[in-house]
Structure 1
Amino acid sequence: MQKVEQQGNLLPKLNTVNAIAGAVLFCCPWVLSYDGLVLASINAWIGGLALMVAAVAAATDLWPKLNLVCLSIGVWIFAAPWLLNFSNKVDPATSHFATGVIVMLVSLVCLGGRWITMKPSKEPRP
């Protein structure tokens, strides 16, 4: 039982990883110089900002479903190079792929941790 309680305390720290990944993605257009790639830059800024806000809110446990929001943002960030047609550009595609994979993995671990730490209901199942 103690390991489950310790894992419950770990979840806000994992959401911090998502917030940092969002901040890194937000800065990538300037750091990696997305020259002339307007859609990739706008997607990185909006996706990074949305991820930072959702991850910070998930870390504070405002709403239990925020990890699903983070997971959805991670899926979008991962798929964006194909959907917005910049998958042939190495720097933006790599930054989006890496961020998307990190966010999806962390969000899935957080969702699994929520299910593990949930208290069972006292009502019998039919």
Structure 2
Amino acid sequence: MFKRIDHIAFTVKDREKSIAFYEKHFGFHQYYEHTVPVPAIEKIVYLKLGDTVLELIHMPDGPQLTGYHFCLESDDFDADYTRLQEAGIAVETEPHPAGARESRETGWRRVVFKGPDGESIEFRG
């Protein structure tokens, strides 16, 4: 049976800009990059944060993302929110209470920021 999501993948138009964005603002680090035999894709890059893996599919002429998001868990919601806001990252949805799916989430809030290719980046905590 399945046990977890291995990675989340999405297209990016500027590989280096996206790598820098996720490393600087969210603490990911690049650990693998390769080319693929698909003409529209220049490279695929993997970034890691703990056990979370993002696969950035570098397609300079690819489609823009819509209706998509991923969510990170924050251990200091206020500090992370302030840091990202001060860095000038656009807020898509202002902080608001998040429903507690389990007791440890009681009192949590959620917020959604915009990534460099229009991806929605939620975090909760």
Q: Report which of the two has the higher share of helix.
A: 1
Q: Report which of the two has the higher share of strand.
A: 2
- Return the index of the structure with the highest Cα Rg: 1
With structure 2 as the length reference, what TM-score do the two structures score? 0.28
